[in-house]
Amino acid sequence: MVVTIAQPQGVVLPELVQRLPSAALDESICNIGGWALCHATALITALSTWSEVPKRACPYAYPAIARACHPRRVARTWLSVTVELLGGRGEELWPPPGRIFAVGPSHTFMDFADAINDAFARWDRSHLSVFTLADGRVVTDEETGAEMTEWANGPITEPVDIEVAKVARHLAPGDEFKYTFDLGDQWVHRCVIGDEKVDPMEILGTTARKPLPYWGWGSIPDQYGRRWADDVGEGPVPGRPAARDPMLSHVWPDLVQVPALDLAELRAAIATRDAVRFLTAVRGCDIDDVLQQVGAGLPMALEQRPDEAMPVTLSIINRLSSRAGLGDDVLAEDLLARLRGEPLSGRVIPVDLDMLGAVLEGDPAMSSGGYLDLNTGEVIDVNSTDPMMVGEDAAVDVEKEPERWLAFDCVGSRNGWNDMAEFAARQRDPALRQRLEHAIEGRGAFRRFRDLVQQEGLADPWHAFSNDRQLGRARAFLADVGIRVG
């Protein structure tokens, strides 16, 4: 059986028949069975019509021949993952070159990383590979994952081991995630899983032992000179988007994708001294606006679950140092001292920071200040010492034990107004930002702002934001007079 074809040049020799699956042969190779002859004919037909296949527009040109050779089918259980190289070494690539991979149920993230590096022609593999999922989890080697847990960005999560974790176990059709190769040069890839699963026999012609690309484009260089996914060799390059890709700007995943910390659960865990509950509440959440509140529970967690709490504590220390709000440095120092097993630098008192902050920054028209009990940490308003205000029996006599009480003045609401201005400025929606900024102008600013954040569904994030800063200022006030919270 010899058939001449136009593309590729040459002939199909009888040896091709021997490449058919042995199961397809009803009889010996010398006396070809009907089934084998049918599939041999299909193969010849595919090759004979090769010149008519629109190779630039059809990603299944090669698989058409593979299907003729391999009539067996596999269930559509593999993921189809589009990977685009967004940039690296400080350069943004446009149009981004890409490859589409078939990834099987048994393939690990390490298998996928190797396949990506193969497809993008990387010969020096002495660099780290890190996947970042949309919920903020990182997939990398065990040692790097432990170090990244201590970093000062993103939610605190348990790292996923790249060597053993299966791609299909952690991701599903439609998911988007990031792959970074070489944390120095930062070769960043956007990965998107197709909406439908695929049959590897249809697109690859085999069930591969590792992920394999079956379509591609872009200058790596590309085999067929495609410059973007739908390039057919004609027309200009699409215009570059005005906005920089969020993955290259280190603002992906957006925190709107990360759940807010449940403060009620956090406080309950601290109140009941339940370290497991506390650590569970903290992990996987957006915590950067509530660092003072999270920090309050870390000494208890370090005492009960030191191995689990240590990386969380280091991450909080780094985040506090990066945020650098009033009192953040004090809390960072205290947490570092606890990690080292050193005493805190000051008189340690179990102060109620919430009450202290409320009295310190209260309305001067209602109260001029208060007192701190240096023995118990209790905070009282100055009105609590006036028999005319609270009654003779309820009034606290601070003059009876003057060395026990620390008097302080109310500093007013200026810091609270600054918190509103900062909260407004950080809103991404320009119209919302303008409404909030307008609300805090003139008399009645606090009431208008409170009503507006309630109306816009921002009450919870606002209270978490402002309360954390008030706690930090209270902590800074105590440090200034030689007191540390314990």
Per-residue model confidence as pLDDT tens digits over 319-359 = 999 999 999 999 999 999 999 999 999 999 999 999 999 99
pLDDT digits (tens, 9 = 90+) for 375-411: 999 999 999 999 988 898 889 999 999 999 999 999 9
Contact between 416 and 446 under an 8 Å Cβ cutoff? The reply is yes
| CB contact at 8 A, 289 and 468 | yes
Nearest to 69 by CA among 21, 13, 7: 21
- Helical (H) or strand (E) element with 330: helix 328-340
Look at 294 and 11; give whichever has higher pLDDT.
Answer: 294
Q: Are 139 and 133 in contact (CB under 8 A)?
A: yes
Q: What is the pLDDT of residue 255?
A: 58
Compute the radius of gyration of the chain from its Cα atoms. Answer: 32
Report the share of the chain in percent with pLDDT over 70: 83
pLDDT higher than threshold 50 for residue 164: yes
| Assigned architecture for domain 79-217 | Roll (3.10)
Q: Where do we find the tokens 């890709």?
A: 245
Q: What is the predicted pLDDT for the residue at 227? A: 82
393 CA to centre of own chain: 56
Choose the weakest-confidence range: 16-25, 123-132, 197-206, 240-249.
16-25
What average pLDDT does this structure show over 446-452? 95
Q: Do the Cβ atoms of 359 and 473 come closer than 8 Å? A: no
Q: How confident is the model at residue 253 (pLDDT cuts 50, 70, 90)?
A: confident
Say how far apart CA 372 and CA 378 lie, in whole Å.
Answer: 6
Beta-bridge partners for 216: 99
Q: How far apart are CA 128 and CA 117, in angstroms?
A: 11
Q: Which two tokens stand for residue 292?
A: 């003072």
**DSSP letters along 284-318, please?**
TSB-TT-HHHHHTTHHHHHHH-HHHHHHHHHHHHH
From edge to edge, which strands make up the β-sheet containing 369-373? Answer: 379-381, 369-373, 405-409
Which one-letter amino acid corresponds to residue 193? I
**How many H-runs (helices) and E-runs (strands) does the chain carry?**
18, 16
Report yes or no: 477 and 408 within 8 Å, Cβ to Cβ. Answer: yes
What is the structure's pLDDT at 234?
A: 80
pLDDT value for 28 = 37
What's the mean pLDDT when you consider all of the chain?
85
The tokens for 132 are 């970042």
Prediction pTM value: 0.65
- Residues in Cβ contact with 369 at an 8 Å cutoff, skipping those fewer than 6 apart: 359, 360, 382, 407, 408, 409, 410
State the pLDDT confidence band at 34, using cuts at 50, 70 and 90: very low
